[in-house]
Structure 1
Amino acid sequence: MRKLSYSIESPAVPPRQRNWWVYLLLAVVCALNVLPYLWVVLTGFMDGASASAPTPQWLFTPSLEAFQFLIVDKGILKNFFNSVIVSFSSTFLSVTIGMFCAYALARYEFVGRDDVSFWVLTNRMMPPVAVLIPIFVIFQTVGLLDSLIGLIILYTAMQLPFVVWMLTGYFRDIPRRYEESAMVDGDTWFAAFRKVTLPVMMPSITATAIFVMILSWNEFAFATFLTSNNAKTMPPAVMAYSIGADIRWNVLGAAVVLITAPIILFVLLLQRQFISGLSQGVIRK
Structure 2
Amino acid sequence: MRPGRIIAKAVLAFAGFLAVFPLLWTALNSLKNSVDIITRVPRLVFTPTLANISYILGRDSVITGLYNSVIACGSAVLIGVVLGLPAAYAVARYPNRWAGDIQFFVLSLRFLPPVAVAIPLMVIWLQLGLYDTLPALIVTYSLLTISVIMWLAIPAFQAVPKEVEEAAFVDGYGAYAVFWRIALPVAARSLIGAIAFSFVLVWNEFLIALMLSSSNAKTLPIVASELSQQGMNVPWGILNASVVLLSLPPLLFLGVLSGFLNSVFRQKKT
Same fold judged by TM-score > 0.5?
yes
| Number of equivalences | 259
**CA-CA distance at 1:181 after TM superposition:** 3.8
Displacement, 1:269? 5.7
Matched, 1:122 2:108: yes
For residues 198 and 30 of structure 1, the distance between their equivalents in structure 2, rounded to whole angstroms, comes to 30
Say if 1:102 and 1:167, in contact at 8 Å, map to a contact too.
yes
Change in CA separation of 1:232 and 1:182 when aligned onto 2, cut-off 3 Å: same
Query: What do you get for the CA RMSD once the two structures are aligned?
Result: 2.6
Q: SS of the counterpart of 1:125? A: coil
- Bigger drift between 173-182 and 101-110 goes to 173-182
Which amino acid is the alignment partner of residue 15 of structure 2? V
2:234 to 220, 242, 247: 247
- Residues 1:203 and 2:189 aligned together: yes
Aligned-partner SS, 1:227: coil
Give the corresponding residue for 1:94: 80
Q: Which residue does 1:42 correspond to in 2?
A: 28
Q: Does 1:77 align with 2:63?
A: yes
Structure 1: distance between partners of 2:221 and 2:42: 27
Higher helix proportion (structure 1 or 2): 2
Task: Give per-residue Cα distances to partners, 1:112-160, cap 9 Å, x unaligned.
Answer: 2222221221122111122221111111111222212111111111122
Question: Per-residue displacement from partner, 1:3-44 (whole Å, max 9, x unpaired)?
Answer: xxxxxxxxxxxxx31344444434443343333332222121
Conserved in 2, the CA contact under 8 Å of 1:43 and 1:51? yes
> For residue 155 of structure 1, what is the aligned residue in structure 2?
141
- Tell me, yes or no, if the aligned pair for 2:144 and 2:198 is still in contact at 8 Å: no
CA contact (8 A) 1:44 1:254 kept: yes
Secondary structure of the residue aligned to 1:89 is helix
AA aligned to 1:137 is V
Q: Which is worse superposed, 161-170 or 69-78?
A: 69-78
Measured at CA, do residues 205 and 111 of structure 1 come closer, stay the same or move farther in structure 2, by a change above 3 Å? same
Partner residue of 1:29? 15
Q: In the aligned structure 2, how far is the partner of 1:166 from the partner of 1:26?
A: 25
Per-residue deviation, 1:190: 1.6
CA distance in 2, matches of 1:224, 1:90: 17
Alignment of 1:136-147 (within 5 A): 136-147=122-133
In structure 2, the residue matched to 1:167 is 153
Cα distance in 1, alignment partners of residues 156 and 41 from structure 2: 52
Shift of 1:273: 9.9
Q: Which amino acid in the other structure matches residue 226 of structure 1?
A: L
- Please list the CA deviations of residues 151-172 of structure 1 after superposition, one character each: whole Å capped at 9, or x if unmatched: 1111111122221121112222
The AA in structure 2 aligned to 1:194 is W
Which residue number corresponds to residue 57 of structure 1?
43
**Tell me, which stretches of 5 or more residues in structure 1 are unaligned?**
1-15, 275-285
Instruction: Identify which range, 130-139 or 259-268, moves more after superposition.
Output: 259-268
Q: Taking every aligned residue pair, what percent have the same amino acid on both sides?
A: 34
Give the alignment's TM-score, normalised by structure 2: 0.84
**Code of the aligned partner of 1:254:** A
Which of these two proteins has the greater Rg computed from alpha carbons? Answer: 1
Between the aligned partners of 1:197 and 1:130, the Cα distance in structure 2 is: 36
Aligned position for 1:17 = 2
1:213-252 to 2 correspondence within 5 Å? 213-243=199-229, 245-252=232-239
Q: Which consecutive residues of structure 2, in runs of 5 or more, have no partner in the other structure?
A: 262-270
Superposition deviation, residue 216 in structure 1: 1.5
**Distance (Å, rounded) in 2 between the aligned partners of 1:30 and 1:187:** 43
Shift of 1:209: 0.8
Q: Following the alignment from structure 2 to structure 1, what is the Cα–Cα distance between the partners of residues 123 and 51? A: 41
Shift of 1:257: 0.9
TM-score (norm 1): 0.80
Task: Report the residue type matching 1:171 in the other structure.
Answer: F
